[in-house]
Amino acid sequence: MIVDCHTHFSSDNRIMSEHIGAAEPVDKCIVLGTPEPAVEDINERLADYVKSYKDRMIGFAFIDPVRDLYNTKELRYVTGDLGLSGTAVYCAQCGFHPAQSRAMRFYEAAEELGLPVFFHNGPVLKADSFLEYAQPVLLDDIARTFRKLKIIIGDIGLPFVEQTYSMLAKHENVYADFTINPDSSWQTFNLVVRAYESKVMDKLLFGSGFPLGRAQKCIEVLLGFNKMFIEADLPSVPRAEIQDFLQRNTLFALGIKQIAEK
């Protein structure tokens, strides 16, 4: 089974019509709520969308824990009434330190309810975003404090990839969304080799980054990884290691059991 752990919901119907086609190559995909300042009911719209494709799509609610104080009761609305299975936070874009006190109360509630938290902090950021809040090492306090909370570092933590791999090696409850740019062959090569040498391939989750990326092209590039620079004397990564992470049961790893067991 192939799960795309990183796609985005948009209020733009044109983009979402493309999302349906882009999701065809995978068995299931996670759809992240995205901050849209002009759209107040983004999570309600997301819930309606994933319900239309409930056998294949899983929604993660957009949460700004500093602007809106979230406790267990409010998060039960996200999981119960809306039927969403996780949360997505945008620290760099929304301008808050990941371990800010109000955010920590949110993580406590998410851990209690078994909701994974996807930290989407790049790599494409607007000029007014806070790059310092995108550093994966800032999640260390969260991972230590809430050891049962499933944490996903989006986009491999780019541009702070070494921090990401250190977090994966240190914490059992931390995973990384391995979303690549299939047109950047040298970057992709280095990301895969470094993950393999750091012995964290088992903590990687496949993602496409839709609408910026497409699952089909990402899968093709990763499966052909060892052919990228076949004539050069460069390190290789066992194909089985790449296949294992592409076919990982991401939903089970994140504790989304009611869907993973179907």
Are 2 and 25 within 8 A, CB to CB? yes
Q: How far is CA 253 from CA 37, 249, 257, in A?
A: 32, 6, 9
* Residues of the chain under the 70 pLDDT cut: 257-262
pLDDT at 228: 83
Domains and CATH numbers, the chain: 3-260 (3.20.20.140)
pLDDT at 40: 83
Task: Tell me the whole-structure pTM to 2 decimals.
Answer: 0.94
pLDDT at 253: 95
Q: How long is the chain? A: 262
Residue 261 burial (CB < 10 Å; 0-12/13-18/19+)?
Answer: exposed
Residue 100 burial (CB < 10 Å; 0-12/13-18/19+)?
Answer: middle
pLDDT at 260: 39
Are 214 and 208 within 8 A, CB to CB? yes
Torsion 243-249-251-252 (CA) sign: negative
Q: Other CB atoms closer than 10 Å to residue 50's CB: what's the count? A: 21
Are 159 and 122 within 8 A, CB to CB? yes
Are 221 and 180 within 8 A, CB to CB? yes
